[in-house]
Structure 1
């Protein structure tokens, strides 16, 4: 199965998602398809991937989720010698 390109995405995806979210959707879709998933399953994987970083606005457009100030992205260092 050939990989989809951005212009191959359904119009619903192109209209609702910005370029960054479309890239996430496309990468997840192509990966799931390569793993042998059905088109429906690959679409679900793609939407779930987008939902990790984006959320729908009241106007139907998806926007990046706000940073969670309680989540820390610091590396943990050990105190060993």
Structure 2
């Protein structure tokens, strides 16, 4: 998944990377029209990034060592 941002590749396990990628791509398409965003001036890449991290946090959390792990 080389196309993912370094922060995602270096920190999330493979499953989390997949969640991130799917959520990012979906949000990027959904918010193509600036009128569909809360702030029409905010770049859709930033909106998609925020959505993707929100989706990751539904299934993953950081453990005591600061590593992302799947929630039980």
TM-score when normalising by structure 2: 0.77
Retained in 2: the 8 A contact 1:16–1:60?
no
Give the superposition deviation at 1:59.
2.7
The separation in 1 between residues aligned to 2:20 and 2:66, in whole angstroms, is 16
Corresponding residue number in structure 2 for 1:48 = 54
Q: Over alpha carbons, which structure has the higher Rg? A: 1
The separation in 1 between residues aligned to 2:71 and 2:60, in whole angstroms, is 5
The separation in 2 between residues aligned to 1:58 and 1:15, in whole angstroms, is 17
Give the superposition deviation at 1:10.
1.0
TM-score when normalising by structure 1: 0.69
Q: Structure 2: which 5+ residue stretches go unaligned?
A: 38-43
Would you say 1:16 and 2:11 are equivalent positions?
yes
Equivalent pairs counted in the alignment come to 61
Q: Residue 8 of structure 1: SS of its match in structure 2?
A: coil
Give the superposition deviation at 1:44.
0.5
RMSD, aligned α-carbons: 1.2
Q: Structure 1: which 5+ residue stretches go unaligned?
A: 1-5, 67-81
